[in-house]
């Protein structure tokens, strides 16, 4: 079953120097229960596309549906169907993990008792139980990312959007987050839409990859299929394959940590 579908999705920003086509025309589909890696160089339009699909930014062209809800005519339905974890997160450092989770539940119109129960469920699922009474500002990077994801899962969304979720994490925390993403798909059937600059991460997690450049899709397929088609061999690295597709690097010069 197709969970996300876009046709000619576009976004142009008006600046003092003239219009900027951040996303020119994105055509893609994402199947239910799939982990999709959405890749591209800096400025390719990844985050803009993700923000449009989560209703945070209005498209200036094209169309899209998320879980059967039209982006233009049923934004509320799209928001009910998706959870979103931004690059920077959004927790309040001065309140406890428990308060943050309960508040999120209340924002989704759960009663206080329901919100407290859901907070406990999420804490168990994401290994946060022992941290419920710790202030969010005292969490490590990996713990804070697990909390960000827990908040995005409060309303049991069908699709989880993760925008560079492991940036800045140590190798152990990255590996833990990889395991969490797999569990969400395998145990709960959650569809995951992942943007990342770490190509080892995309290779390890993604069922399928979509590569964008200059605001359009330039390649898509399984990691193995793309390596064979563009890297020349199943043994090619995804880094070399990506460079062959785009002709430029996926990330700044700083190298990501190696997951263990």
d(CA 233, CA 250): 20
Q: Is pLDDT of 112 > 80?
A: yes
Let me know if 166 is exposed, middle or buried by CB neighbors in 10 A (0-12, 13-18, 19+): buried
Which pLDDT value is given to residue 91?
87
Q: Is pLDDT of 258 > 50?
A: no
The set of residues, in sequence order, having a beta carbon less than 8 Å from that of 152 and lying 6+ positions away, is: 83, 84, 85, 160, 161
Distances (CA, A) of 175 to 45, 200, 258, 259, 260: 27, 11, 9, 6, 6
- pLDDT tens digit sequence for 154-166: 999 999 999 999 9
Which pLDDT value is given to residue 168?
84
Neighbours of 226 (CB within 10 A): 23
Which pLDDT value is given to residue 247?
86
Q: Looking at the chain, which runs of residues are DSSP E strands?
A: 2-15, 18-31, 35-39, 61-66, 69-70, 82-85, 159-163, 191-195, 208-213, 216-221
Which pLDDT value is given to residue 17?
92
Which pLDDT value is given to residue 44?
93
Q: Is pLDDT of 110 > 80?
A: yes
Q: Is pLDDT of 240 > 70?
A: yes
d(CA 203, CA 187): 21
Segment among 89-93, 203-207, 231-235 with least mean pLDDT:
89-93
Which pLDDT value is given to residue 161?
97
- pLDDT tens digit sequence for 143-155: 999 999 999 999 9
**Phi, psi values for residue 83, rounded to 5°:** -115, 150
What is the pTM assigned to this prediction?
0.90
The set of residues, in sequence order, having a beta carbon less than 8 Å from that of 195 and lying 6+ positions away, is: 37, 38, 39, 46, 47, 50, 162, 163, 164
| CATH of region 2-90+156-246 | 3.40.50.300
Q: Is pLDDT of 248 > 80?
A: no
Which pLDDT value is given to residue 256?
42
Question: What ranges do the domains of the chain cover?
Answer: 2-90+156-246
Q: Is pLDDT of 254 > 70?
A: no
Which pLDDT value is given to residue 88?
79
What are the structure tokens assigned to 108, written together? 């989704």
Which pLDDT value is given to residue 255?
41
Q: What is the mean pLDDT of the chain?
A: 92
How many residues are recorded in the chain? 260
Which pLDDT value is given to residue 90?
77
Quick one: which of 223, 208, 211 has its CA closest to 249?
211
Task: Name the DSSP class of 236.
Answer: S
Residue 69's beta-bridge partner residues? Answer: 66
Are the C-beta atoms of 194 and 38 separated by less than 8 Å?
yes
Kindly give the pairing relationship between strand 216-221 and strand 2-15. Answer: unpaired
């Amino acid at each position: 079953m197709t969970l996300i579908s876009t046709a000619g999705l576009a976004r142009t920003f008006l600046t003092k120097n003239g219009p900027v086509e951040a996303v020119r025309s994105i055509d893609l589909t994402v199947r239910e229960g799939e982990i999709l890696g959405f890749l591209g160089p800096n400025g390719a339009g990844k985050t803009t596309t993700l923000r449009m699909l989560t209703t945070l930014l209005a498209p200036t062209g094209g169309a899209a549906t998320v879980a059967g809800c039209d982006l233009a005519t049923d934004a509320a339905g799209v928001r009910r169907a998706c959870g979103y974890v931004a690059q920077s997160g959004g927790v309040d450092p001065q309140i406890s993990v428990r308060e943050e989770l309960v508040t999120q539940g209340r924002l989704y119109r759960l009663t206080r008792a329901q919100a407290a129960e859901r907070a406990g469920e999420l804490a168990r699922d994401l290994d946060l139980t022992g941290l419920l009474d710790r202030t969010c500002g005292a969490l490590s990077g990996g713990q804070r990312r697990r909390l960000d994801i827990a908040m995005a899962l409060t309303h049991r969304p069908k699709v989880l959007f993760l925008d560079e979720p492991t940036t800045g994490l140590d190798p152990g925390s990255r590996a833990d987050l990889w395991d969490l993403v797999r569990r969400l798909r395998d145990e709960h059937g959650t569809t995951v839409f992942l943007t990342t600059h770490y190509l080892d991460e995309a290779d390890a997690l993604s069922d399928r990859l979509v590569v964008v450049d200059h605001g359009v899709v330039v390649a898509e397929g399984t990691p193995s299929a793309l390596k064979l088609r563009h890297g020349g061999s199943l043994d090619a690295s995804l880094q070399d394959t990506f460079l062959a597709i785009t002709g430029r690097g996926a990330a700044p010069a700083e190298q990501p940590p190696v997951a263990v």
